[in-house]
Amino acid sequence: MRQREFDLDTTTREAVLRISARGRLILVHPMANRGTAFTLEEREQLGLSGLLPSRVTTIEEQMRRTYAQYLRSPSPLAKFIYLSQLRDRNEVLFYRLLSEHLEEMLPIIYTPTIGEAIERFSHEYVGARGLFLSIDHPELIEQSLTDFELDADDVDLVVVTDSEGILGIGDQGIGGIQIAIGKLGVYTAAAGIHPRRAIPVVIDVGTDNLGLLNSDLYLGEQHARVRGERYDEFIESFVQAVNKLFPNAMLHWEDFGAGNAHRILNRYSDRICTFNDDIQGTAAVVLAAVLAAVRLTGVRLPQHRVLIYGAGTAGVGIADIIREAMSQAGLPADQAYTQFYAFNSRGLIVEDGESVRDFQLPYARSREEVSSWEVEDPSRITLAETVRNVQPTILIGTSAQNGAFSEDVVRAMAENCARPIIMPLSNPTSRAEAHPADLLEWTDGRALIATGGPYGTIRHGEIYHTIAQANNALIFPGLGLGVSVVKATRVTPEMIYAAADALAGLVNEYRPGASLLPSMNDLRLVAATVAKAVARKAEEQGLARRPMTNPINDIYQMMWKPEYPKLEILPADPA
């Protein structure tokens, strides 16, 4: 059997790279290449003499050089492209640079800049480290996964999207591969998941984006989205192939459309280890912010009235986890539903209303209840009308409707609530339901705020308010790490709740203006803390295939640090 030219052991924190390749081939392998950091002895042994400048440099010196190049990139998209090319050239250096400047670069490799990168994918294509699976060739699913050249025990994560519900920009066809790659970048930077233990996948089922279909540069299948039975059969084949080839991997669903996201999660959550970040990750980080805010209000969670403006995939996921938290706090399950008011594009969701999806029905209000309200059009009850009639204490926006939380709405809410909890979560920031500075102004500084995008610190009066960013990066990396540490067979609602509770436990919200969530600068600490809670819950539920012996050490040893691996130089392969 022919030996591999590059064989990297990723099972331990101190990775070892065995190399039998020689010459220029090494310099185009992202995990093997370390450029000018190769020692003179290594250059001679690996056939690199004369292929690099004479001086040997450290990774710290390389980092200073690449950071200066990054800063000279003229736009966020240009910075994204620069970092992508660095990752494809020298993966260790890319992650070292990212880890040293995580808060600064996260908006570049992830939201919001990644939205533009996805839209421009076919125009700016320079390669992508991922798998492209076409619904027109289902027979190639297993072969494609095999061609990624990873063995059964080498994969902890598979992140997959069908690109129908990308961020706030909708159907982006094959460009969605960038969101899968971006998610895995965050898994590595935040939780230390080794980049070679994860596979990003886009399922190309066509696109309904007419701009893409009419573009000569579009790289995906040029036909309308396939739906129905053929779509379901393709998803089933994909799930079976992943489970067969990588039985220890968590399958992470990302940015599926509202019509499929809940349905797919419900179908597979009891069969395989699987997780939907839009539904469960968003819900968990929002719950953590809600728990911190509720502690400040002095009002028990079951007594709060919650408005969900935008009851799509993320909105209903948020409602579900807050409702479950209310039940755990002692409110009977049937009563917990009555604390929620949810909105779709037709207004407040009422049981006999139009365009109500199956997953929204549990939150539909009765026609009898709203019949006594003073409203202009009973078939389309507005947010402002609901606020006046309900007097909510928590207002959450996942609608992508810029300015939906108007001054009238917010002031009406604040009239009857001492500390209104308001969370305009839509991304990018141009689609946010409100700006936090306005929310502070309209509530006389009393609002407890979390947002989807980064706003930093805002001064109101004499108090500086650190605006919490409800970024999923505070949850999903730690969840994935916790699952991989114990090789969990499932991801349960109890594990999601444990992740949210652990995140909330890291917050000290009592300083005036303090954030409701930890800083993005603390992602490594956050991920490790969340991982510990998730892994312990998996053990309690009997779902751990590899129980922990020393939780702190077990988690620490799983968190890869971006350093050049130890080299074991093998004889060159004569073949």
Q: Show Cβ contacts of residue 505 under 8 Å, excluding neighbours closer than 6 positions.
A: 529
388, two tokens: 């006046």
- Contact of 527 with 479, CB cutoff 8 Å: no
DSSP 365: B
Distance (Å) of CA 214 to CA 95, 209, 220, 549: 37, 9, 12, 57
Other Cβ atoms less than 10 A from the Cβ of 272: the count is: 18
516, two tokens: 């409701």
Which of 500, 503, 497, 533 has its CA nearest to residue 519? 503
CA–CA gap between residue 52 and residue 121 (Å, rounded): 32
CA–CA gap between residue 483 and residue 477 (Å, rounded): 10
58, two tokens: 């450290």
Q: What's the start-to-end Cα distance of the chain, in Å?
A: 11
What is the Cα Rg of the chain in Å?
Answer: 25
Write phi, then psi, for 446 (nearest 5 degrees).
Answer: -90, -15
Q: Is 455 assigned a catalytic role?
A: no
Which of 563, 477, 521 has its CA nearest to residue 91? 563
Q: Is 67 assigned a catalytic role?
A: no
Helix axes 493-504 and 282-297, enclosed angle (nearest 10): 50
124, two tokens: 């700016």
Catalytic one of 70, 95, 110, 455:
110
Is the alpha carbon torsion for 256, 262, 265, 268 positive or negative? negative
Catalytic one of 70, 95, 183, 497:
183
Segment holding 562, helix H or strand E: none
Task: Give the residue numbers marked as catalytic.
Answer: 110, 183
